[in-house]
Amino acid sequence: MTNIALTERSPEREGAAPWVVTWLTWPILFAANILIIAHAVVFHWNLSVTLGVATAIPIVTLVALEFTYPLDRRWRMTWRTFFFRDIKFFLAGGLTGAATNYGFGLIGLTLAAGHVGPATNWPLWLSVPAAILTFDFFQYWQHRWSHEADTPWKQVLWKTHAAHHLPEQVYVLMHPAGHPFNFILLQGLIRIPLFYALGFSPETLFAATAIMGLQGVISHCNVDLRAGLFNYIFAGAELHRYHHSADVSEGQNYAVTFSFLDVIFGTFVHRPDELPERLGVADPAAYPRSNQFWRIMLIPFQK
């Protein structure tokens, strides 16, 4: 009975948000992010402090919008989900997914200072997209292989990633729900060595981290945010909520920032006027519940 109920459309689903919220939230936040990046570079602001501000502004804005205009009440954050589940993952993942992104961004900035590589002297208009695309390409395949799980190695990847898909909600502050091993794999074993080897400047890493962080929090927002044709370039809420679908045939959209990678590799799912029937994993009985933190932490060690 529980599974049947979860697959039905909820009568509490709202989805009604003013046009200005639906269509202008992402462009305004994106433009504000670019302006902050540009001013920080031109006027030599403290990059670490500015990155924190650029991280906090969209989180506060989007959480406020979620409480005011929830797209689906089934997916909204409650005090129960926050205090009995999310806060544990905040601590395990580095307070929040954004803070994890921020922390590894600072490590990258520190390592990049004084280091010279192939991309060190590229102009920002070239180096920033190149840095994002380079990371997103490797992250895409790591993410996709995690979900395919058709070989022993891919099953190991899925075990580190499964925790992020156990919640049956999607909202900004559940973004860090996941296993620390997955963060370490993405950031410590892929992102930092990759950026260091290519020699991206601190300014490039600052800008790339700010942009990727923005897309990360927007993609989990439980508000009817639309991007129109830009969905074919940037991954956002319209696309990523389908990634969290319990229906494995539509749970794709593996790119985190540049959605055209999904277009190129045939994993792009875009249904702007529809919502997934249910979020989570296909067989919830085979996994711990999303609030069973310590059982979830043991998943990578189990057969």
Q: What is the pTM of this model?
A: 0.88
Model confidence at 257: pLDDT above 70: yes
In a domain, residue 10? The reply is no
- Answer whether residue 59 is part of any domain: yes
Which of 79-83, 176-180, 234-238 shows the highest mean pLDDT?
234-238
Model confidence over 5-55: pLDDT tens digits? 333 444 344 567 999 999 999 999 999 999 999 999 999 999 989 999 999
Q: Is the pLDDT of residue 283 over 50?
A: yes
Q: What are the Cα distances from residue 290, in Å, to 90, 179, 259, 280? A: 14, 12, 27, 9
Query: Is residue 13 in some structural domain?
Result: no
Range of the domain at 136: 21-301
- How many folded domains does the chain comprise? 1
Q: Report if residue 161 sits inside a domain.
A: yes
Q: What is the rounded CA–CA span in Å between residue 273 and residue 266?
A: 21
Q: Is residue 1 part of a domain?
A: no
- Burial-class residue 183 by CB neighbours within 10 Å (0-12, 13-18, 19+): buried
Predicted confidence (pLDDT) at residue 93 exceeds the cutoff of 70 = no
Find residue 245's DSSP bridge partners.
279
Return the number of other C-beta atoms located less than 10 Å from residue 29's C-beta.
19
